[in-house]
């Protein structure tokens, strides 16, 4: 099968990103961009981000997860520690996060190192989840091969009966990671493919330098 996409064209003309206008701290610019996209583009799942890891087989793999917290230290998301990405990060904590907000013609690419957050923070977030999502964390041995969906449905039904009226505690194999950034690049689409790119790089684990990149 062949499909020719060479005539797909889109002119990016919704904004600009000038080095002279951005703050010294990239986390401030991230917050500004996130809030703008979240406020002006209702159909955009703003906190959806792609995380790329290096698997145990040596291949990179990307998938979408949801950002649940961001602060000066980094970017937090939650998953199964025994999943494919969890095992990959245990072996090699270097990861890449990316956000693509097509409505605003913006992209953010983050290189950093992932580590588990403290148990209390994972417990607090797990307790805030709907019961269905809590049970889902118990049902799924994420990334493992299963024979059919009915296996999941039957296991969920059994757990619903087992935990009826009971507190659901966070399983030990499920919790949060924080990605601590070493490099953050902001990309704003521009006309004629002359896109704006500003890259921040951290020095001495605390000081950020910024530069403009050719598109």
Q: Could you list the active site residues?
A: 193
Q: Which of 159, 205, 158 is nearest to 181 (CA)?
A: 205
CA triple 162-142-55, angle to 5 deg: 160
**Cα(124)–Cα(90) distance, rounded to whole angstroms?**
23
**Cα(27)–Cα(76) distance, rounded to whole angstroms?**
13
β-pairing verdict for 60-66 and 207-213: unpaired
Phi, psi of 21 (to 5 degrees): -100, -5
Contact 29, 186 (CB under 8 A): yes
Helix, strand, coil tally for the chain in percent (to 5): 30, 35, 40
* Beta bridge partners of residue 86, listed in sequence order: none
Phi, psi of 11 (to 5 degrees): -95, 125
* Beta bridge partners of residue 68, listed in sequence order: none
* Beta bridge partners of residue 194, listed in sequence order: none
**Cα(194)–Cα(13) distance, rounded to whole angstroms?**
10
């Amino acid at each position: 099968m062949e499909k020719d996409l060479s005539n797909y064209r889109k002119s990016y003309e919704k904004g600009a990103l000038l080095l002279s206008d951005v703050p010294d701290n990239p986390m401030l610019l991230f917050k500004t961009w996130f809030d703008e996209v979240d406020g002006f583009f209702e159909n955009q799942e703003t906190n959806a981000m792609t995380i790329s890891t290096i698997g145990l087989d040596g291949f990179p793999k990307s998938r979408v997860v949801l950002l649940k917290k961001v602060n000066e230290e980094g970017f937090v998301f939650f998953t199964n520690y025994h999943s494919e990405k969890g095992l990959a990060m245990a072996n090699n904590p270097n990861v890449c996060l990316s956000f693509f907000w097509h409505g605003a013609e913006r992209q953010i690419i983050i290189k950093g190192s992932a580590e588990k957050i403290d148990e209390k923070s994972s417990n607090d977030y797990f307790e805030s989840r709907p019961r269905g999502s809590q049970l889902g964390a118990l049902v799924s041995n994420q990334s493992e091969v299963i024979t059919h969906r009915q296996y999941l449905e039957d296991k969920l039904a059994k757990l619903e009966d087992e935990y009826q009226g009971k507190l659901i505690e966070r399983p030990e194999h499920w919790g949060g990671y924080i990605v601590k950034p070493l490099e953050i690049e902001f990309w704003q689409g521009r006309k004629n493919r002359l896109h704006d790119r500003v890259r921040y790089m951290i020095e001495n684990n605390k000081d950020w330098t910024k530069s403009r990149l050719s598109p």
